[in-house]
Amino acid sequence: MIECKNISYSYQDFQLNEIKVLENISFKIEKNEKVLLLGINGSGKSTLLKLLNGLIYAKGGEYLFEGDLVNKSYLKKNSKTFRKSVSLQMQDPSAMLFNPTVYDEIAFGLKHFGFDNIEDRVHHYAKTFSIESILNSATTALSGGQKQKVLLASLLCIEPEVLLLDEPTAHLDPPTTGWLVEFLESLDITAIVSTHNISLGRELAQRAIVIGPNHEIVFDGAIETLLEDMPTLIKAQLVHQHKHAHDKVEHKHYHLHSWN
């Protein structure tokens, strides 16, 4: 369903130097697969998700969606179908909420893509995300977790085939994170979920793609295998080293990042 072939991407700094943020990225993702995209801050996760959402284009290599090369001319012709198929939840939910009320926010995509029974659909998704009581609230007056739920409801109600989630649990409390993980698991949808929180992995997906600090893929495979692979975890900086003093003997060992 999704294929990246040798993708590279760079941003320009103020001196117009190209700063590489993705290098040699290649992978295939099948329909209904759930994949965790891991990497430390700045490794390029958000950039890759924007690329997969057609918001930016690869500077090298190719991105194929269902066999079609996604580039400017493809999106010019297929913008509406592609936008309905591939949904991205950006890292900052506030940046994506632009309607006056929660109801309007969820209804917006439904109207845009010509769905019928809009009111029923809005209520159905509001119920799924337990946000019925805030349907008439202003989107600007919500907590981080509520914004996240409204955003997910507004993305899922248009029934996309691919859901790209950029650090979706950053604003969620532990019970809501648990609920989201189970909910995503139950959906027949292709999902790519970025996080630097490796402890989310086991529940959310079987497969992990890890981008290293060098912006290249350092691991693509089963999460269980990754968790046993300390050299790769160290290389990707997904573990950190602690110093401990036990009976005056200081020793160091590695820990998984599992806070947030």
Ligand X SMILES: Nc1ncnc2c1ncn2[C@@H]1O[C@H](COP(=O)(O)OP(=O)(O)O)[C@@H](O)[C@H]1O
Indicate whether 176 belongs to the interface with Mg ion (CB under 5 A).
Answer: no
Q: How far apart are CA 251 and CA 82, in angstroms?
A: 53
Stretch that binds ligand X, among 38-46, 61-69, 104-112, 224-232 (CB under 6 A): 38-46
Closest approach of ligand X to the CB of residue 35, in Å: 15
Residues between 39 and 78 with contacts to Mg ion, criterion CB under 5 A: 45-46
Give the residue with the Cβ less far from ligand X, 91 or 99: 91
Find the helix or strand (DSSP H, E) in which 142 lies.
none
The dihedrals phi and psi of 78, each to the nearest 5 degrees, come to: -115, 20
Binding partner at 254 among Mg ion, ligand X, none, C-beta below 5 to 8 Å by kind: none
Give the residue with the Cβ less far from ligand X, 44 or 168: 44
By rule CB under 5 A, what count of residues binds Mg ion? 3
In sequence order, which ranges of the chain are alpha helices (DSSP H)? Answer: 45-52, 72-85, 102-112, 118-128, 144-156, 174-186, 201-204, 223-228, 230-235
Indicate whether 160 belongs to the interface with ligand X (CB under 6 A).
Answer: no
From the number of C-beta atoms within 10 Å of its C-beta (0-12, 13-18, 19+), residue 159 rates as: middle
Q: How far apart are CA 154 and CA 131, in angstroms?
A: 12
Give the residue with the Cβ less far from ligand X, 47 or 53: 47
Indicate whether 149 belongs to the interface with ligand X (CB under 6 A).
Answer: no
Binding partner at 41 among ligand X, Mg ion, none, C-beta below 5 to 8 Å by kind: ligand X
- Degrees (nearest 5) of the Cα angle 189, 192, 194? 145
CB 19 within 8 A of CB 12: yes
Question: Given candidates 29, 44, 139, 207, which one binds ligand X under the rule CB under 6 A?
Answer: 44
What x-and-dash track marks residues 80-99 binding ligand X by CB under 6 A? Answer: --------------------
Question: Given candidates 2, 43, 195, 217, which one binds ligand X under the rule CB under 6 A?
Answer: 43
Regarding beta strands 86-89 and 18-29, do their DSSP bridges make them parallel or antiparallel, or are they unpaired? unpaired
Residues between 72 and 131 with contacts to Mg ion, criterion CB under 5 A: 91
Question: Given candidates 2, 25, 47, 201, which one binds ligand X under the rule CB under 6 A?
Answer: 47
Closest approach of Mg ion to the CB of residue 91, in Å: 5
Read out DSSP for 71-140?
Answer: SHHHHHHHHHHHHHHEEEE-S-GGGG--SSBHHHHHHHHHHHTT-S-HHHHHHHHHHHTT-GGGTTSBGG
- Identify any residues that bridge with 221 across adjacent strands, giving them in sequence order: 208
What is the binding site for Mg ion (CB under 5 A)? 45-46, 91
What is the binding site for ligand X (CB under 6 A)? 11, 21, 39, 41-47
